[in-house]
Amino acid sequence: MPDFLTTAVLIGLGMLILDCVEVGRNDAANLVNAVFGAGLMDRRKAAMLAGIAVILGATFSAPVIETARKGIFDPSVLTIQMAVTIYVSVYFVDTVLLYSFSGFGMPVSTTACLVFELVGASLFLAGPSNVNWPNVGSVAASIVISILFSGMAAFMMMRVFRGAMGNHVDDRERILLHGPWIAGAILTWLTWFMVFKGLKNVEQVQSIKAAFFDQYGEWSALLLMWSIFTLAIHLLLVFTHKLLCRHLFGLTAIAGMICMAFAFGQNDLANAASPGLSALTLFHGGEAQPDGLASIATKIPIPVYALFGCGVLMASGMFTNYAQRVTRAEVNTGSQSDDVKLYSPQWCQRVARFVLRVRRKHPSQTSLPEIPTSETHAHYDTLRASVITGISASVIALASGRGLPVSTTYVAFAAVIGTGMSDRVFARGQADTKLGRAIWVVSCWILTPIIAIVATGLIAQLIHHFSTAGLFLGLALSISVRLLFKHRADEHEKNYEPAEDDPHLSTL
């Protein structure tokens, strides 16, 4: 047992470092997509700004991490060896899943992966009675509902804002008329997001929340905030003349990215850190438990330097080539440009063509929005980028305020698709390619839980039966599959490099 625990903890800590990088490579990469796609900042600068917010969010996150993750399984009925096996098995599969999806430019949720990996390991190792199925169903339902809600809200808000602004997001008269209430609404969403999600552990914010939100009601407080923001922005627009008019929606989009990155660092830290920290806690405290149970690792305290270190690792993943692939693919999927390079299987493209044929039988009476043009080859305009970040933030805030787990990746991608449907980006140019890619991404989301459950369950069984030897076998399998998908992803990338006329997307 000591040999197994020592080996498992060492491997677990190594995989913790790798998993933090993988989270940044895929999940955190989605934070910069709206700002980058709108041409507001190049990807490296956007990643640096978002990375700083991720590090700050991780550093100021809760000092106690919940490792059972919303009660997915009951660690108190497991032996220490079984619990460590579950946590290490999760890492073996999670790092491969995130790395492989990133290699093919596919956004995937770390939250969903972790939850279903825990389900698979505990199911195969301790039986179905150890899994809290109502909680699993609640998590799955909240993820699906958040995706649908984000997409529909983004579609409707984009229709409203586009109807007011049209394509004249730089026109001073139009911005003076509609900019204050639109930007005020977006800033209200972001403030609400930070209160409920990003800064919920800060004492001063808790006091403000109790004094205004709890006492006067959420809707009254939000309406007052909207009025204040609208008035302040109107006055600034008048006094700054054309300066703020040119940058109003660009600033709201960047503010949304920073807010999401800060909260991402706070709340997604547990996804990457909890398995390794749980194994370490069991290693240090297991001998003190006479019954050998694993309940001691349900919640664990971690020092600030460890939080900071995990944040740095997550931020570093945003600068990798695989993170660039995730960004490029998602931006192109929702691009307002006609010509994009994207991959999707033939069956996805056939489904997309069928959907488009049905839509053409009932054409819309509204004209297609103009394609935004700029020297930075923007794929969105700044208004759309602001809606993407604002809606994503508000949906996550709504779910978090009610204790529901949601995925930053899924919500952000749904907002991209929702705003794209509003601007009818799937009705022009290579619409079948873009829609086919969206279908392929959603299909992979459906397949991911199945893969996570089966793969983690089999790895857990391997480690449980072969003990220390099983750890090395699991590690060898993880590395081998990782190398296999790296080779296939790199070969795939050669056929789908950025177009020559799109240098903005070809640079990190």
What are the pLDDT digits (tens) for 92-109?
Answer: 999 999 999 999 999 998
Largest CA distance in the chain: 74
Report residue 252 as tokens. Answer: 């709201």
pLDDT band for position 506 (50/70/90)? very low
Residue with tokens 């980028």: 385
Joined together, the tokens standing for residue 434 give 């873009």
- And the tokens for 472? 């090395």
Number of domains in the chain: 1
Q: What is the pLDDT of residue 67?
A: 55
Alpha carbons 18 and 329: distance in angstroms, whole number: 23
Is residue 416 pLDDT above 50, yes or no? yes
Residue 507 placed within a domain: no
* Structural domain includes residue 501: no
pLDDT (average), residues 107-121 = 90
Side-chain half-sphere CA neighbours of 420 within 13 A: 28
Greatest mean pLDDT among 159-173, 303-317, 474-488: 474-488
Task: Give the pLDDT score at 170.
Answer: 79
Which one has a higher pLDDT value, 463 or 197?
Answer: 463
Distances (CA, A) of 311 to 14, 16, 179, 433: 16, 12, 35, 36
**For residue 272, is pLDDT > 70?**
yes
Closest CA to 272 of 14, 17, 7: 17
Q: Rounded to an integer, what distance in angstroms lies between the CA atom of residue 487 and that of residue 483?
A: 6
Which one has a higher pLDDT value, 375 or 273?
A: 273
CB atoms within 10 A of CB 468: 15
- Burial group, residue 218, by CB count within 10 angstroms (0-12, 13-18, 19+): middle
DSSP conformation letters of 420-443:
HHHTTGGGSSSHHHHHHHHHHHHH
Residue 288's pLDDT is 46
Pairing of strands 299-301, 64-66: antiparallel
Gap between the Cα atoms of 36 and 17, Å rounded: 27
pLDDT tens-digit series, residues 37-90: 998 998 999 999 999 999 988 887 766 566 555 578 777 777 888 888 998 999
Average of per-residue pLDDT across 396-406: 72
Q: What is the pLDDT, as a whole number, of residue 315? A: 93
Per-residue pLDDT at 424: 87
What is the band of 290 on the pLDDT scale with cuts at 50, 70, 90? Answer: very low
Residue 500 in domain:
no
User: pLDDT tens for residues 378-394?
Assistant: 788 899 999 999 898 88
* 426: pLDDT strictly greater than 60: yes
Residues 6+ apart with CB under 8 A from 236: 244
Reported confidence tier of residue 401, pLDDT bands at 50, 70, 90: low
Q: Is 504 a domain residue?
A: no
Average pLDDT of the residues of the chain: 84
Q: How many residues does the chain have?
A: 508
Question: Where does the pLDDT of residue 499 fall: very low under 50, low under 70, confident under 90, or very high at 90 and above?
Answer: very low
Q: How far is CA 175 from CA 227, 233, 242, in A?
A: 17, 11, 10
Q: Is 508 domain-assigned?
A: no
Upper half-sphere CA count for residue 245 (Cβ side, 13 Å): 17
Q: Which residues constitute the domain of residue 314?
A: 2-493
Per-residue pLDDT band for 300 (boundaries 50, 70, 90) equals low
Residue 503 placed within a domain: no
In tens, the pLDDT along 322-353 reads 999 999 888 989 888 877 888 888 999 999 99
Amino acid at 255: A
Q: What per-residue confidence (pLDDT) applies to 505?
A: 44
451-460 mean pLDDT: 96
pLDDT at 122 over 70: yes
